[in-house]
Amino acid sequence: MKAILLNGSHADDVTGGRVHAALTTELEARGWQVEHILLREKKIGNCAGDFFCWVRNPGICNVNDDNRAIAESVINSDLMVYLTPITFGGYSSVLKQMVDHQLPNISPFFAQVAGETHHQRRYRKYPDFLAIGWLDQHEPQTEMIFQHLADRNAINYFAKKSVAGVVTADQTDQEIQLSMQNWLNGLNHRSTVKLATNLPLMEASPRLSPIRNALLLVGSPRTKKSTSHALGGYLFEQLSARKIETKTIHIHTSIRSAERMKTLLEAVAAADLVLLAFPLYVDSLPAPTIEALERIAAQRASNVGTNPHQAQRQLFAAISNCGFPEPQHNATALAICANFARKAGFNWAGSLALGAGQGMIHGTSLNELDGRVIPLKKALDLAAEALAEGQTIPDEARKLLIKPFIPAWLYRWMGIYGWRQQAKQYGMQRSLKRRPYEIKER
């Protein structure tokens, strides 16, 4: 039996080293062949969000770097393990970079799972899934989000069995070893059979005074042509109409530039409101967006007591959109955003979750779209009105987006036609279900 360990630890992570050593020892004692991949040492680019891995070169990422070999190894393993410092309830940006590249291993076509829309499997067999995260100390709220994310991933990875566990830095080596034994034993009887619902309640809190300026952070690799930009841009148009100074920064064009990242961090520090708009990537935020949040939190932690603007309780809000008709797919990612706000010293101002965003908007300005977006525009109008006054996004705005804008059955049916049409322009319409990494049995 083969286990692949995807290690998303940062350099000099002592707890991560202890976790890896304990798990490897236990797996090898049980006769497992272990492949350990230290992701920070690999060349892996960020997912471009172009879906070429589905329509242009089905089953293979368009970027030819280490992600291809890792994706192939995952499919040909019996157990996939995530090792990660827990980051606001989610995975580290180092791990998430590879997680985003697991999209080619599933099919673009849709299926229904427990009343929700999910993608179909590409391969006949997928590995079981074990997610192990670590924290300095126990944080029940953060641990609940991590468990929820792992459960959602297990469903979308078609893992027959899955377990998630948390280690804390104050545990002894013996305690960590015992946890490894228990989690591996748990894989023998814990099946991935239901949709998780155990997210913590994230209460929002107002600023208590109107905002004067606002910053929009766009977390999509498609930048100005993205649905995230269209959503955040429309809300910011409403803020501008109220004489609020606004600024927009695209994370993907800033994260690898020291100068642009400095500008981003300075803009965050100066804003009364920071609004993050992003697409859902594998049940969470895109890797560069997580990295940006990591760096924002680190800077704010180092500036505690020195930034007078931070003491005025800045607002942080989020808008997430996903490629499924049901908006609840965004819940885990938005819980991560709320937990980030809490840990980074913001007032959490709430969120909006949109289903079928890409299919309905496709980066087009909302003012150019038809009547289908009327409820969406009303929700954004209500959110803008509240945020301008330093208040939180009202429940009324969120409720306007609960009902899918298109029936789920129709969305799934249209997906069959849509993906085939996109693949047709590359001559790949008959290859959408191919399995490039499958080892043929002799």
Q: Regarding beta strands 128-135 and 162-168, do their DSSP bridges make them parallel or antiparallel, or are they unpaired?
A: parallel
What local confidence, expressed as pLDDT, does residue 170 receive? 98
Q: Regarding beta strands 106-113 and 116-121, do their DSSP bridges make them parallel or antiparallel, or are they unpaired?
A: antiparallel
Measured distance CA(230)–CA(207) in Å, rounded: 26
Half-sphere exposure of 128 (CA within 13 A, CB side): 20
Identity of the amino acid at 258: A
Alpha carbon 35 to its chain's center: 25
Two tokens at 169?
């830095």
Measured distance CA(287)–CA(290) in Å, rounded: 5
| Number of helices and strands in the chain (H, E) | 14, 12
Identity of the amino acid at 252: H
Ordered by where they begin, the domains of the chain are 2-186 (3.40.50.360), 213-399 (3.40.50.360)
Measured distance CA(215)–CA(232) in Å, rounded: 10
Measured distance CA(96)–CA(89) in Å, rounded: 13
What local confidence, expressed as pLDDT, does residue 442 receive? 29
Identity of the amino acid at 231: L
What 3-state class would DSSP assign to 18?
helix
Cα separation values, 7 from 17, 65, 167, 233, 409, Å:
10, 17, 15, 37, 38
Closest CA to 89 of 47, 131, 36: 131
DSSP lists the bridge partners of residue 216 as 248, 275
Local confidence pLDDT in tens for the 442 residues of the chain: 999 999 999 999 999 999 999 999 999 999 999 999 999 999 999 999 999 999 999 999 999 999 999 999 999 999 999 999 999 999 999 999 999 999 999 999 999 998 999 999 999 999 999 999 999 999 999 999 999 999 999 999 999 999 999 999 999 999 999 999 999 999 987 776 566 557 888 889 999 899 999 999 999 999 999 999 999 999 999 999 999 999 999 999 999 999 999 999 999 999 999 999 999 999 999 999 999 999 999 999 998 765 555 556 899 999 999 999 999 999 999 999 999 999 999 999 999 999 998 778 888 999 999 888 999 999 999 999 999 999 999 999 999 999 888 899 999 999 999 999 999 999 999 999 999 999 854 2
What 3-state class would DSSP assign to 364?
coil
Measured distance CA(208)–CA(199) in Å, rounded: 27
